[in-house]
Amino acid sequence: MTILRAAWLSNIGSVRKENEDRVLFSEAAQLFGVADGVGGLPGGSEAAQKTTDVITAAVLEAGPEAELDLQAIVTAANEAVAMLGQRISPSSGIGSTLTLGCVRGGKMKLAHVGDSRAYSWRGGEIACLTEDHTVENEARRRRARGEVVYYSEAQRGALTRCIGQTIPPEVDLSDVPILAGDRFVFCTDGVTRLVFEREMREIIGKPHDPAEIARILVELALQRGGPDNATVAAVIIDSP
C-alpha cells in the first residue's frame, strides 16, 4: 500500500451560519476529498453529508486493493442524495459538489462534479486537476464548438452539475500517476475563490506536514474575509 500522510481542516468562515462543507477522509481506504452543499438550495449540509457517507462506505466495502468503479460509486451517491432531496425539499431538491481522490495501483484516481477543486504539486509546479462545472465554463466550451451562447453576469458561477440531480450528472474521471514527494490538495470554493494559484503553489510546496498546508490555506481564506465555509484536505505521498 502507498505510504502517505494526510490531514484536513474545515472552518465555517466569518459570514455563514452553518458549515455545509464535508470532508472525505479515510487513511485506511486512502480516500480523500471534499463535498460542498450547494448554496441557494435548502439542505446543503445534508446533501454533502449523504454524499460523503455513501462514497466512504462504498470504498471501504470494496477494500484497499480493489479496482474501484468510481463512476458507479458516484452515481449511487447521486441517487441517494436525490432521494433524500425528495423527502426534505421536494420542490427544489438538494445538491452538493464532490471532488475526491483515491490512491490505487500507484495512481490517484479522481472523480469530480461541481466547483470544488483538486490540485497536484510536483517539483515546484502546481496543476489544477479539475474544471469547474459552471455556466461560464459550459458557455466557453459550447462557444468553442461554434454555438452562440448568452448568460447573465449573475449566472456565470452557477453550477451546471452537482450531486443530487434527478438525471445523474456527467462525472469527470481521471487517473494521475503518483511519485514520492507528490502533494495533492482538495479544496472547496471558500478557499479557491480567495487564494491565487501562484500562492497555492508556494503554500503547498513549503511545509512538510499536510496539517500545516491545510491550516495555512484555511487561515488565508479567513484573513481575506471568510465569506464562505473553507475546507481543505491535503495529502503528501512518501512512497508510492
Over residues 24-36, the pLDDT tens digits come to 999 999 999 999 9
Report the percent of the chain where pLDDT is more than 70. Answer: 93
pLDDT higher than 90, residue 139: no
Over residues 157-178, mean pLDDT: 94
- Does the pLDDT at position 159 exceed 80? yes
- pLDDT (tens digit per residue) in 208-231: 899 999 999 999 999 999 999 999
**Whether 75 contacts 173, CB under 8 Å:** no
The Cα–Cα gap between 121 and 125 comes to 6
Residue 54 has pLDDT above 90, yes or no: yes
Q: pTM of whole model > 0.85?
A: yes
Q: How many CB atoms lie within 10 A of CB 143?
A: 11
